[in-house]
Amino acid sequence: MTELSHIRNFSIVAHIDHGKSTLADRLIQLTGTVAERDMKAQMLDAMDIERERGITIKANTVRIVYPAKDGETYVLNLIDTPGHVDFAYEVSRSMRAVEGSLLVVDATQGVEAQTLANVYQAIDADHEIVPVLNKIDLPAAEPDRVKEQIEDVIGIDASEAVPISAKTGIGIPDVLEAIVTRLPAPTGDRDAPLKAMLVDSWYDPYLGVVVMIRVMDGMIRKGDQVKMMQTGATYRLDKLAVLTPAMKDIPELGPGEIGVFTASIKQVRDTRVGDTITHEKKPCATPLAGFKPAQPVVFCGLFPVDANDFEALRDAIEKLALNDASFSYEMETSAALGFGFRCGFLGLLHLEVIRDRLEREYDLDLITTAPSVVFKLHMRDGEVRELHNPADMPDPTLIDHITEPRIKATIMVPDEYLGDVLKLCQDRRGIQMDLTYAGSRAMAVYDLPLAEVVFDFYDRLKSVTKGYASFDYQISEYREDHLVKMSILVNDEPVDALSIMVHRDRAESRGRVMVEKLKELIPRHMFKIPIQAAIGSRVIARETLSAMRKDVTAKCYGGDATRKKKLLEKQKAGKKKMRQFGKVEIPQAAFIQALKMDN
Ligand SMILES: Nc1nc2c(ncn2[C@@H]2O[C@H](COP(=O)(O)OP(=O)(O)OP(=O)(O)O)[C@@H](O)[C@H]2O)c(=O)[nH]1
């Protein structure tokens, strides 16, 4: 056990690309935590997808042993936090497991959207914050200007910000000293009953479920019988270790320490992030505050392009779900798409990440249906039903009214983009609740329907503000509105995967945009194809895709056989991504494209 005074727990907060991973690598390298030959760039972003997308999804941690200038040796625990709004809950609870943060700001760019969103999380968690100005090796670096900006915009003292280059290594020893001298040591009572926070959990193919904890009070040892206070489940610890980042066994962990254990836990679903872990025999009196199970808020259908892949998809989804408690699924059948799954996610990025992993790691070709939220149907007979899929909408005459989830959204944006942001929120049925200014930044608080946000709101917000807005939301309440189901008919056949719930006053314009887009997205066939949007039996928008009779190879007059072959191959590959509806083939991309709202 390490003495409390010799522990420092911290996270690194930064806007994307400001150098968080590079700095973490440097800290690990300089302290010799990983042998030079094992050092690979961006150690902490384990998964391929994280690397490619440059985002960190799972919170990672590493224990660094650092001999400081004062002659004492300190244990520094770094927790890596995810940076996207879909994972805001993961960020906020991992923040509560540490006492301080390094705020990394790119000295050539200055404070940006996520810098703000993330630093406010750190401030909320009462962190001591050490500003770090990165990339000072670049000629465009303006450390003084950025210092001033940190003080103006964030309102924290930046006079002692540490100038560094994570790339060349300048200033890294100063960062380590600042961690020891400026961040507070944790507090806790080793003689009190065990109270530990479940910070994260994941599935390891060799060890089974690994649980990461931060001990608040008491001691935890290998062989202990522990209890999860929320779920009530009890387990015996098989292994207790720290991450260096490789797992290293340790006999015990005391207050302020961070480590991992295994305990023959069958699935990650049995471990709830934020839960309190205590001893079964001598439990602590009260659990830690703020436990909140992650609730899926966005649902969509995932179907195999090739019906023969259904079993493979089931297998893959079950495996992924073992590793991700916030992802839910149930089997679904669709007239158009056959057998598949209705899946629930924390948000759109989460959806994309899961879909990508299924396609890549399990080599599956998937069709994704329109993301939707959970509506509540208040039936005339008094029953309240949840609607996860617009295709399951019952006869509207049986419904008294429908409620939908609303959110309280906070958007921070530089002045010059405010007009566009307000228009976007207005277009999405938003109600302005507050508008304030801090320096040259505005903060707008809106009450918005979640359904209008789940699809492409972030994308639109990013594009109208050139990436300079930060966005955060909380679900507020379910509220009644005039919602109707709109169906899309292609060649007079309803395509259930394209039906959506929409506000009555907006159905016509949404329907018009959708049929126009589908007309562009569906390739011409040998016959005329009507494309219609309808509410019940009433058609509200219609386009006709005219017939075509053309051999794709007709253009290749002359005897260029290879070119002809290539075209045919391309067409064949394209077919794989097509789906047959009656006589019509619809490309898979059309399902998502048609639903984008950028009219
Ligand atoms: N010139 C220079 N480039 C740097 C420095 N630190 C990081 N970079 C580069 O900046 C880019 C982003 O660095 P990352 O460490 O991946 O940034 P990050 O904040 O971890 O990004 P995400 O993990 O995507 O959030 C990479 O190309 C780095 O090589 C620095 O001090 N100087």
Residues 510 and 457 in one domain: no
Beta 7-14 vs 366-368: how paired, if at all? Answer: unpaired
Q: Where are the beta strands (DSSP E) in 394-499?
A: 399-414, 431-438, 441-449, 470-481, 483-490, 493-494
Calculate how far, in angstroms, residue 42's C-alpha sits from the geometric centre of ligand 1. Answer: 10
Domain boundary among 459, 481, 503: 481
pLDDT, residue 108, reads 93
pTM of the predicted protein model: 0.67
d(CA 202, CA 325): 9
Residues 138 and 8 in one domain: yes
Residue closest by Cα to atom 32 of ligand 1: 135
Q: Decide: 166 in ligand 1 pocket, CB within 6 A.
A: yes
Residues 398 and 513 in one domain: no
Calculate how far, in angstroms, residue 8's C-alpha sits from the geometric centre of ligand 1. Answer: 24
Residues 210 and 315 in one domain: no
Residues 548 and 498 in one domain: yes
Q: Which residue of 12, 21, 119 sits with most ligand 1 atoms within 8 Å of its CB, as the best mutation to test the pocket?
A: 21
Q: Which residue of 11, 13, 21, 22 sits with most ligand 1 atoms within 8 Å of its CB, as the best mutation to test the pocket?
A: 22
pLDDT, residue 503, reads 92
Calculate how far, in angstroms, residue 203's C-alpha sits from the geometric centre of ligand 1. Answer: 29
Q: Decide: 52 in ligand 1 pocket, CB within 6 A.
A: no
- Would 286 be classed as within a structural domain? no
Q: Decide: 470 in ligand 1 pocket, CB within 6 A.
A: no
pLDDT, residue 99, reads 96
CATH value at residue 467: 3.30.70.240
d(CA 45, CA 51): 6
- Would 187 be classed as within a structural domain? no
- Would 289 be classed as within a structural domain? no
Q: Using one digit for the tens of pLDDT, what is the confidence trace for 343-381?
A: 998 777 788 888 888 998 899 988 888 788 889 999 999
Residue closest by Cα to atom 21 of ligand 1: 17
Residues 71 and 172 in one domain: yes
Q: Decide: 115 in ligand 1 pocket, CB within 6 A.
A: no
Q: Are 586 and 524 in contact (CB under 8 A)?
A: no
CATH value at residue 209: 2.40.30.10
Residues 383 and 526 in one domain: no
Q: Are 353 and 564 in contact (CB under 8 A)?
A: no
Residues 318 and 398 in one domain: no
CATH value at residue 335: 3.30.70.870
Q: Are 11 and 92 in contact (CB under 8 A)?
A: no
Residue closest by Cα to atom 25 of ligand 1: 16
- Would 36 be classed as within a structural domain? yes
Residues 430 and 554 in one domain: no
- The reply to whether ipTM tops 0.90 is yes
- Would 159 be classed as within a structural domain? yes
Q: Decide: 54 in ligand 1 pocket, CB within 6 A.
A: yes
Q: Decide: 20 in ligand 1 pocket, CB within 6 A.
A: yes
Q: What is the pLDDT along the chain (599 residues), one digit of tens a residue?
A: 789 999 999 999 988 789 998 998 888 888 776 555 555 555 554 445 444 443 333 436 789 999 999 999 999 999 876 555 556 666 677 788 999 999 999 999 888 767 877 888 888 889 999 999 999 999 999 999 999 989 988 889 999 999 999 999 999 999 999 999 999 999 999 999 999 999 888 777 778 888 999 999 999 999 999 999 988 899 999 999 998 877 889 999 999 999 999 999 887 777 877 889 999 999 999 998 866 666 677 888 999 988 899 999 999 998 888 767 678 899 988 776 789 999 998 777 788 888 888 998 899 988 888 788 889 999 999 999 999 888 889 999 999 999 999 988 888 888 899 999 999 999 999 999 999 886 677 889 999 998 888 777 877 888 898 877 877 777 788 999 999 999 999 999 888 888 889 999 989 998 999 999 999 988 888 899 999 999 998 999 999 999 876 555 555 455 556 666 666 665 555 555 566 777 788 876 677 677 665 54
Containing domain of residue 229, as a range?
A: 195-279
- Would 149 be classed as within a structural domain? yes
Q: Which atom of ligand 1 is nearest to the CA of 83?
A: 25
Q: Decide: 19 in ligand 1 pocket, CB within 6 A.
A: yes
Calculate how far, in angstroms, residue 360's C-alpha sits from the geometric centre of ligand 1. Answer: 26
Is 466 annotated as a binding-site member?
A: no
Residues 33 and 70 in one domain: yes
- The backbone region for 499, taken as left when phi is positive above 0, alpha when psi lies in -120 to 50, beta otherwise, is beta
pLDDT, residue 107, reads 95
- The 3-class secondary structure across 216-262, one letter per residue, is EECCEECCCEEEECCCCCEEECCEEEEECCCEEECCEECCCCEEEEE
Cross-strand pairs, 105: 133
Residue closest by Cα to atom 4 of ligand 1: 167
Q: Using one digit for the tens of pLDDT, what is the confidence trace for 5-35?
A: 999 999 999 887 899 989 988 888 887 765 5
d(CA 374, CA 388): 5
Residue 154 carries which DSSP code? I
- Would 287 be classed as within a structural domain? no
pLDDT, residue 471, reads 79
Cross-strand pairs, 48: none
């509506």: which residue's tokens? Answer: 375
Q: Which atom of ligand 1 is nearest to the CA of 164?
A: 31
Domain boundary among 337, 369, 401: 369
Domain boundary among 481, 511, 533: 481
What distance lies between CA 33 and its chain's CA centroid? 29
Q: Which atom of ligand 1 is nearest to the CA of 45?
A: 23
DSSP string, 85-150: GGGHHHHHHHHTT-SEEEEEEETTT-S-HHHHHHHHHHHHTT-EEEEEEE-TTSTT--HHHHHHHI
CATH value at residue 33: 3.40.50.300
Rg (CA), the chain: 27
- Would 582 be classed as within a structural domain? yes
Domain count, the chain: 5
Residues 32 and 169 in one domain: yes
Residues 172 and 74 in one domain: yes
